[in-house]
Amino acid sequence: MTETLFTHATLADGSLKDIGVTGGRIVSIMPAGTASDAARKVDLAGALLVPAFVEGHIHLDTSFYGDTWIPHKPCTNGFDVHERVAFQAENMAQAAPMAERARKQLELCVSHGSTQMRSHVMVDGSVGLKSLETILAIREEYRDIIDIQLVAFPQSGILKSPGTAELLDEAIAMGADLVGGLDPASFDRDLQGHLDVVFGVAEKHGVGIDIHLHDFGSLGAFTVEEICARTVALGMQGKVVVSHAYGLGNLDPDAARGIGAKIAAAGVSIMTNAPGDHAFPPVALLRAEGVNIFGGSDNIRDSWWPYGDGDMLGRAMMIGYRSGFYTDEELSAAFDVVTAAGAKALGLEGYGIAVGAKADFVTLAAAHVPEAVVAVPKDRRVFKAGRLVAENGAVVR
């Protein structure tokens, strides 16, 4: 017998269905009222049922969410990654314990409907492996309500921060899932040297890569091309992400389409959070070229910016808003960026509303997906493996 039958769920196609769940997986999707008996029934009363959101890029170690308010300090002469890293070090020294802050941020994300996450964690000469140790323990604590991938992130560069290459290697051995990188050319001043380390550690351990790339213009675009070439050369298609890739946002459309085709062919995914006043990747143009582009909150109330609420549905709205998305098809694309595209980028197994998929879903007070993206309804219930894990904006444990 089916363990739990979720009755009267409105699916994205507008149909009203009963969803059977056994052993944490969806075992049946039947027209409402036709499903067989179940040990337990949960009436969703027509709420829109969608796959749980994928928080594709966050920093669990550096947020001040839930801590005392730390006013943002602007760079002295325009956006400068080095200076921001220095400000972050000052702020972190005064912050509440990392585990406390990470828990608050995780619960915020789950309460909004994310049950899958990729977090970058600082691994460099300044903090060594201490932050990773803390976040690895937090991951265990929250294993029943959210799946978390961790990226060993060289926030202070690799070549500029002696010993970081070895630390990245140790980080993967300790339990980090992917190797990170940071502006290989502008930060470390050595594009190939930086990528040699990142791809070298990834190849040694058979893990994926997720590189922060803030560089604008042709330097950013050139770096993306180099990452794509190495990805193909090593047969790592589907396992490499470039986060931000601001440089794709200020190319002319023909150049963007050309590089988009290369990114798609290399199976590299692009992460965007549709940041404030930065250029950012052209979502519709890249999707048309076959690029998998997905979303993340990135920084939430940290040294980099004061914004962020961990709501990936709100993020879909921002991505749609900044991309000039108006039609239902475009709004659905913005939704795809925070759901299916995120699942593809993270290589998640069993994602979606389908028989055999994991029963990770969110119910929304909306008639359909385009309405959900523009209205960002707060009335939600979040289920992980068929079990209620959050409602009314709070985690239920």
| Residues near Zn ion (CB under 5 A), total | 1
Backbone angles phi, psi at 171, to 5 degrees: -60, -40
* Cβ-contact 184, 216 below 8 angstroms: no
Taking the least distance from each CB to Zn ion, the nearer of 20 and 308 is: 308
Taking the least distance from each CB to Zn ion, the nearer of 169 and 298 is: 298
Taking the least distance from each CB to Zn ion, the nearer of 275 and 282 is: 275
> Nearest distance from residue 9's CB to Zn ion, in Å?
34
Residue 69's CB: how many other CB atoms inside 10 A? 8
Taking the least distance from each CB to Zn ion, the nearer of 120 and 287 is: 120
> Nearest distance from residue 347's CB to Zn ion, in Å?
19
Residue number with the smallest Cβ distance to Zn ion: 298
Hey, is 103 helix, strand or coil?
helix
Hey, is 26 helix, strand or coil?
strand
Figure out which of the listed residues 298, 302, 311, 330 binds Zn ion, where binding follows CB under 5 A: 298
> Nearest distance from residue 243's CB to Zn ion, in Å?
6
> Nearest distance from residue 120's CB to Zn ion, in Å?
5
Taking the least distance from each CB to Zn ion, the nearer of 180 and 370 is: 180
Q: Per CB under 5 A, which region of 79-87, 160-168, 294-302, 384-392 contacts Zn ion? A: 294-302
Question: How far, in Å, CA of 61 to CA of 58, rounded?
Answer: 9
Q: Per CB under 5 A, which region of 22-30, 247-255, 291-299, 386-394 contacts Zn ion? A: 291-299
Taking the least distance from each CB to Zn ion, the nearer of 49 and 117 is: 117
Q: Per CB under 5 A, which region of 272-280, 292-300, 309-317, 338-346 contacts Zn ion? A: 292-300
Backbone angles phi, psi at 361, to 5 degrees: -150, 165
Closest CA to 244 of 205, 297, 197, 194: 297
Pairing of strands 268-272, 178-182: unpaired
- Burial category of 120 from C-beta neighbours within 10 Å (exposed 0-12, middle 13-18, buried 19 and up): buried
Question: How far, in Å, CA of 397 to CA of 395, rounded?
Answer: 6
Q: Per CB under 5 A, which region of 162-170, 227-235, 297-305, 360-368 contacts Zn ion? A: 297-305
Q: For residue 338, give Cα distances in angstroms to 96, 116, 152, 216, 218.
A: 30, 11, 22, 24, 28
**Residue 189 token pair:** 């001043």
Q: For residue 186, give Cα distances in angstroms to 118, 223, 241.
A: 25, 10, 19
Taking the least distance from each CB to Zn ion, the nearer of 57 and 112 is: 57
Question: How far, in Å, CA of 390 to CA of 266, rounded?
Answer: 38
Taking the least distance from each CB to Zn ion, the nearer of 107 and 298 is: 298
**Residue 9 token pair:** 């769920």
**Residue 123 token pair:** 């691994």
Q: Per CB under 5 A, which region of 142-150, 290-298, 348-356, 370-378 contacts Zn ion? A: 290-298
> Nearest distance from residue 337's CB to Zn ion, in Å?
16
> Nearest distance from residue 117's CB to Zn ion, in Å?
13
- Indicate the length of the chain as a whole number: 397
**Residue 175 token pair:** 């339990």
Taking the least distance from each CB to Zn ion, the nearer of 26 and 211 is: 211
> Nearest distance from residue 218's CB to Zn ion, in Å?
22
> Nearest distance from residue 165's CB to Zn ion, in Å?
20
Q: Per CB under 5 A, which region of 128-136, 293-301, 349-357, 382-390 contacts Zn ion? A: 293-301
> Nearest distance from residue 15's CB to Zn ion, in Å?
38
Which is it for the CA torsion 152, 158, 161, 164, positive or negative?
Answer: positive
> Nearest distance from residue 273's CB to Zn ion, in Å?
8
Closest CA to 82 of 253, 314, 286, 304: 304
Q: Per CB under 5 A, which region of 78-86, 105-113, 298-306, 358-366 contacts Zn ion? A: 298-306
Taking the least distance from each CB to Zn ion, the nearer of 216 and 361 is: 216
Residues of the shown chain interacting with Zn ion in the complex, contacts defined by CB under 5 A = 298
